[in-house]
Structure 1
Amino acid sequence: MSILLSVEGAIGQGILWGIMALGVYITFRLLDFADLTVDGSFATGGAVSAILIVNGADPVLSLFAALLAGALAGAVTGMLNTLCKIPPILAGILTQIGLYSINLMIMGKSNLPLLNSDTIFSKVSQAIHLPRSVSRWLSTSNLTVLIIGILVAVIVIALLYWFFGTEIGSAIRATGNNEHMVRANGINTNVTIMIALMLSNALNAFSGALVAQQQGYADVKMGIGAIVIALASIVLGEVIFGRKGGFARRLSSIVTGSICYRIIVAIVLQLGLSADNLKLFTAILVGIALSIPIMMEGSKQKKMYKKMTEEVDGIEEAFRADS
C-alpha cells in the first residue's frame, strides 16, 4: 500500500518536474546549447513565487512572476554567450552561481515555508470532494497535483508545439541544426539563441514555482541536480518512445519520461535505497539510458554489415560457379 501511495505521488511530481524537462529539452536538443542555468533558474522560480505568496499575492499571479524571473535569468546567460562571447557551459555556470545569491536576497533566508499560506494546490484541494470509494485509492492532495499538473502540461505542450511551428520557432530549431547555414540565410542567430534561452529558463522557473507551491516551501538549494533530473527525463522518454515521430509526440514523451523517472525513484526508495545515494542512482540511470541507444545503434550497424558481407560473399560464389 505504501508503494502504491508513493507511485501516486511520484506521478504528480513527475508531471510538475516534466515542465522543467521541457525547458531543458529546448536548449539541450533543439538549440544544441549546453545550458546549466537551470539549477539556478529553477530555484529562482520557487523563490519568487514563495515570497509573493507570503506577502499576500495570488498564487496564480506568482507563477507568471516566476516565468518572468526565469526569462530574465535566461537573458543573462544569452548576453554572456552572444555579446561577451563566453562559451555556453561557462555562461550558464556563471549565471547559476550568481542566482544562488540572488535567490537568497529574494527570500531573505535559505528556506521559506508556505504552510500558513494559500497555494494553487490548496485552493483546488479545498474545492475537491472525493467520493469515499475513490478516496480509498487516491488522496485529495495527489488528485489535486494530477489535475493541475496534467492541465498545465497540456497547455505548455500545445503552446510549444504552436510556437516552434512559427517562423521564429523554426529559426531556433534551424540554429540548433546548423548555425552557420542560418546566418548565411540572413537570420540573426544571437536573437534566436537569446529567445530560446529565455523560453527555456522561463519554463524552468515556472516548474520551480509549481514544485515550491506543491511541496509547501521554497529552498535555495531546491534546484541542485535539476539538470541531471531533466536529462534523465529526456533520455528515458527517448528510450521508451524513440526520437522519431512528430514534434508533439516528442514533447509528450519528455513528460512521460519524467513520470517514469519519478516512479523508478519512488519504488527504489521504498525498496530501501538511502536518500543520500539518490544522486548516485540518478547518475547511473542517466548513464545507462544514454548508453542504450548507442549500443543498439552499434548492434544494428554490425548486423547490417554482416548481412551485406554475406550477400557479397553469395554473389561472389555464384559468379565463380557460373564461370
Structure 2
Amino acid sequence: MLALLIIPSIRTLSFNVWFGSLATGLSFAFVALGVYISFRILDFPDLTIDGSFPLGAAIAAVMIMAGFNPYLTLPAAFLAGALAGMVTARIATGLGIHSLLASILTTTALISINLRIMGRSNIPLLNEATIFTPFAAPFQEWLESWGGETLLRLANSLLVILLVGALVIVVKLLFDWLMRTEWGLSLRATGDNPQMIRALGTDTNKMILLGLALSNGLVGLSGAIFAQYQGFADVGMGVGLIIAGLAAVIVGQTLFRPKGIAAATTAVILGMILYRIVIAAALNIKIPLLGGNVFRIGAQDVKLATAVLVLIALWFTRMQKKKRKSQNHVTH
C-alpha cells in the first residue's frame, strides 16, 4: 500500500526536488558509511552518530564565523567526530559498560558540548563563505537575474552533487582500499569473530577504538558538509539520524545484495540517496479524504515515515532469509 502511494508520487517530483534529494543524499552518504562501519563491520550498536553529526556542523559553523577557510572545517569536523567515537569506545571497552549505554552517555554529553561550542542553539551561515562559495559566486548574479530563485536553487543543488559526489567517490575508494589492508581485515574480523582475532594477538579493544573513530569521523564530516549546504548549524539536527543511517544500510543491502566490501559501500551510499528520494516522495503524497479534504504527510512526519520504512525493510529482509532457508532445506 505504501509503495502504491510513493511510486506515483516519485514520478511527479520536480527537477528541483529530484536534484535536492540527490544533493542531500550525497551529503548524508558519509553517515551511511559510518553506520555501516559500526553496525555491520564492528557489530557495535553505536548511537553516538546522533551527537557527532551536529558536533561536526557546530565545529564548521564556529570556524566559518571566526573567519577560517571553509575547507579547513572538513578535517576539523572529522577529527571532532573521531574524538567522540573514541570516547564511546573507551567507555565501552575500558569501563566494561554496554556499547549501547556507552553511546547514549556520549550522545547525551555531546548535547551540552555542542551548545557550549556554538554558544547558542542555531548559527545561520546563509551570508557566510562556505566550501561551495568559490564555485557558486561567479554565477550567482547571472542565475538570479536570468532564471530567478528556482534556477538558483537548481544550480546550487547541482553544484553540491558535483563537489560532494566527487568527495564521496574519493573517500569510498580510499575506504575500500583500507578494508583490504591487513588493518582493515583485522577490523572486519573484530566484528565477525573477536575470539579468533584475539587468539591471533590482535587487540580488539584498540580495533573498536579506531573503528568508532573512523565511523564518527565520517559522520562529523557529513555534519560539516550538510551545515554548509543548508546554510545553518543547529544543535538538534542529529536527532534520529541513526534511524536514517540504518534505513540507508538496510535498504541498500536489501535491494542490491552486495558481495564484497566495494559493492557493500556502494550499496549503502545508493541506499541513502534512495532513502532521501523516498522521503521527498512521501512529503509529496496527497490522499483525498471525505468532504473534499486532502491528507498530506508533513515535515513533522518524516521521523515516523523513516521508522516505518526501516520496519518494512527489516521485515522484507527477514522474509527473504526465511525463504532462502526453506529453499535450502528442500534442496538438501
TM-score, normalization by structure 2: 0.88
State the match for 1:313 in structure 2: none
State the match for 2:325 in structure 1: 301
State the match for 1:321 in structure 2: none
Matched, 1:25 2:36: yes
The one of 21, 24, 37 equivalent to 2:48 is 37
- The structural deviation recorded for 1:127 is 4.5
The one of 162, 183, 188 equivalent to 2:203 is 188
State the match for 2:81 in structure 1: 70
Question: Matches of residues 1-323 of structure 1 in structure 2 within 5 Å?
Answer: 3-127=14-138, 139-242=154-257, 244-271=258-285, 272-306=296-330
Q: Encode CA deviations 1:143-170: one digit per residue, 9 max, x unaligned.
A: 1110112111101101111111121111
- The structural deviation recorded for 1:302 is 2.6
Q: Encode CA deviations 1:118-164: one digit per residue, 9 max, x unaligned.
A: 0012222225689989x969821011110112111101101111111
Equivalent-residue separation in structure 1 for 2:48 and 2:135 (angstroms): 32
SS of 1:164's equivalent in the other structure is helix
Q: Stretches of 4+ moved more than 6 A in 1?
A: 129-133, 135-138
- The structural deviation recorded for 1:276 is 1.4
SS of 1:265's equivalent in the other structure is helix
The 1:181/1:306 distance shift into structure 2, 3 A limit, reads closer
SS of 1:300's equivalent in the other structure is helix
The 1:127/1:174 distance shift into structure 2, 3 A limit, reads farther
The 1:169/1:278 distance shift into structure 2, 3 A limit, reads same
- The structural deviation recorded for 1:31 is 0.4
Alignment length (residue pairs)? 306
Equivalent-residue separation in structure 2 for 1:109 and 1:66 (angstroms): 18
SS of 1:270's equivalent in the other structure is coil
Q: Encode CA deviations 1:264-296: one digit per residue, 9 max, x unaligned.
A: 111111223121111111001001111112102
Q: Would you say the 8 A contact 1:7–1:267 is kept in 2? A: no
Aligned Cα root-mean-square deviation (Å) = 2.0
Instruction: For 1:230, give the aligned amino acid.
Output: G
Identity, % of aligned positions: 41
Equivalent-residue separation in structure 2 for 1:265 and 1:4 (angstroms): 15
TM-score, normalization by structure 1: 0.90
Equivalent-residue separation in structure 1 for 2:88 and 2:326 (angstroms): 42
Larger Rg: 1
